Amino acid sequence: MVTAFAPAHPLAKRKLVSLRELAEFPIALTERSFGLRQQHDRVFQRCGFQPQTFCVTNSLALVKGIASAGTHYTLLPGFAVQQEVTAGTLCTSAVREFAADPLIFSICTSSRRTLSPAARIFVESVVDYCRRYRH
């Protein structure tokens, strides 16, 4: 999990930040139905962190857009902001408190059914992507 912010953000040059350092800045969050947001809330609760929420949305494009302007930020998996980092519109820093709480992808299948060819390709693609990203 990384925090993403504009290249001019006061913390943009840092490789590692803490929630305490982020407390003074407004955050753009995904809505609570996102697994990503559920992870954020678990870590926030465990750390006693009350974010200064600027916006809650179901749009990843919007949270990234908000983070790319001013002193706002968002929290996303690193792969979700790779294109913006490459383009120079966002900078990222690891967040200390999320290091012990990795993002988990789950794909559930029934043991009583054979996967369709499309479902099998989907599962293989997700597993392959995760393996490539991890390394």
pLDDT the model gives residue 135: 47
pLDDT confidence bin for 133, thresholds 50/70/90: low
Percent residues over pLDDT 90 in the chain: 64
Q: Taking the alpha carbons of 31, 109, 122, 92 in that order, is the dihedral positive or negative?
A: positive
Q: Is the pTM here over 0.85, yes or no?
A: no
How far, in Å, CA of 81 to CA of 3, rounded?
Answer: 10
Percent residues over pLDDT 70 in the chain: 94
Residue-wise pLDDT tens digits, 80-123 = 999 999 999 999 999 999 887 666 667 788 888 888 999 889 88
